Structure 1
Amino acid sequence: MNATGSTAPSGRLGVDERAENWRRLGEEEFDVLVIGGGVVGAGTALDAATRGLRVALVEARDLASGTSSRSSKLFHGGLRYLEQLEFGLVREALRERELMLTRIAPHLVKPVSFLYPLTHRVWERPYTATGLFLYDRMGGAKSVPGQQHLTRAGALRMVPALRRDKLVGGIRYFDAQADDARHTLTVARTAAQYGAVIRTSTQVVDFLHESDRVSGVRVRDVETGEETDVQAGVVVNCAGVWTDQVLQMSGSRGRFRVRASKGVHIVVPREKIVSDSGVILRTPTSVLFIIPWKGHWIIGTTDTDWHLDLAHPAATAKDIAYILDQVNSVLNTPLTTDDIEGVYAGLRPLLAGESEETSKLSREHAVARTAPG
């Protein structure tokens, strides 16, 4: 019973709820059990709970402790995906961006401005403007301003930090940004408010089977070592880059493999880059963002394979040098390693086998039923 005298779920995930949820995991039978407390797992739990299903979610570490707290913190369609003709992916992402800005989480998701510096005369402005025209309209009704064309002087007034010889003009456009970890936590707490059992530091150590179907999992409390069985009609693997390991534990063979792609960002003080807008830059293999974030700039990202510990992706000196080289190629005052206040790295779970280059692998979601249950 909560403070108002109601027995309805409160959405709290405190110490008392943690103890109660452990009891419920061992005693109740669930319609859906979700493995993984990232944004995909939390979203799956919320979707199922709002449909009236009995839902539980278990996470080995903490909510958003992996990829979901180590992103570029953008809600965007992906301009480079548009250039790769991934129209369906971009359209879906932009529609979601619009929903986040207007209906789902306008308190968390806000518009953010980016300058696209033009470096070639004649052809680049109409080429980029066409892409941004599609980008502005593919998401339907929009809550951000459309593209704004700027001369070289106008672009430099907006971003004085840029070298004059590195652009002939610019186009300003808008996307959206949010605190990724806070967003994931909010989704999980909303699922809890709708009745889902959410428990962190709860690791799946084995799968339960009845005949040839999965009937649940065995979980361990990482803090105490205690174990219990959780019965569920359906088990959903939302483990991100750990998907293959969870599948192996279940004794199932997946229809695809997950390839971990490392993305590194550096964080520098706001005063190190004089600008009224974020910036998006082309690189030889992808794009690089200079993203305003409170009193800082987040600069990234990279896109390289990672074959070591999935729980602890790390930036190398080569990663940091790459980011500095790319951003310094356009800045009046180059950044140095001494300017870096923070570095973080995350892993994208991409579908393996489509390309040797991680930057060309699909960002689409994939759903597969690998075993009954």
Structure 2
Amino acid sequence: MDNLLELTFGELKNSFIANNVQPSRAYPVFGWIYRRSVFDFEQMTDLPKDLRPMLKDWYKVIELEPVEEQADPSGESVKFLFRTYDGHYIESVLLQGGEIDDETETLGPERLTVCVSSQIGCPLGCNFCATGRLDYKRNLSAGEIVSQILLMDRYAKKKYKRETPGRAVTNIVFMGMGEPLLNFENVMKAIGILAFSGGFHIGARHITISTAGIAPKIKELAEIGLQIRLAVSLNSVNQEKRKVLMPVARTHSVNNILDAVKYYQQHIDRRITFEYVLLNGINSQEEDVLAMKRSLQGIKFHLNLIRYNPVDEIPLSPPTDEEYRHFKGFLRKHGIPFVERFGKGREIAAACGQLGLCKLDERLAKSKS
């Protein structure tokens, strides 16, 4: 049985031809799955009745099993727990509203962003990130990536009463569990599948890939030429500090990463997002801002300022209110453009850096009761 969500539109047409099915049937199938959130072939009423059971025998659609949904008190963040075919677990997040930092983005409550995972666990082990505490298992397939998005889109259509054909989701961010640039092939295939105009039809300008700084893959992404927004988890331009916070810095230095970012911006004329997780007593001084100003010269960027979201068993703490206020003052003083990120989903451990399968056994027991 083939995984249908692994197939581009062209690959599905070729598969139909190989099975002696009219390739034109691929159009309604893509429409039902990607536009109407219908994953059962029997419900695809404009397909011949005798074809539907054959499609069911040939193809599997959704590759993940939804286990749990957790909404925060505001209702603006929903965290999803999914089980993979081989018994592992991943988390993804649906976010309503949010700050706007690009002229192409949808404004206000109509903005629905899905934060998607790309790996089971993460091999990088960033010291401030809950996912980094998990054992790395494997890359997610393109179909597993697409499944997250389609399941959250179906949920959003029901929750926000957007039942008309077409997607409810306006933005995709690869900021969930894992390092997307270490699963480059599957992430890019998923993006290509989701771009098809007869299906989900989401443009590259509405997709963000966040990386800890895999310099060669940043350059490879640039050479593909898609208008994807690049976000880099920076947190410090001091190489020694960064090596402590993010072990990946031992392989990819700050200078190498910034060279790759400049290469990316030469090819893709979009502003770069640098993510800066502010930690108590570590990266919150004026000298950190001055070093950042020097290092980022020549790059068109803005800074996402993120107050550290605490994670159980990680001995780090967020900045004090005074420390946070002073740091914002340093940024303004030295002309660093920034946007504050306010930790949406913190109450359900769904904010930046908090996806770590928190209290998994307890949640699984609750889901079975």
For Structure 1 versus Structure 2, the TM-score category normalised by the shorter chain is 0.3 to 0.5
TM-score (norm 1): 0.32
Q: Larger relative CO (CA 8 A, sep 6+): 1 or 2?
A: 1
TM-score (norm 2): 0.32
Q: Per residue, is there more strand in 1 or in 2?
A: 1
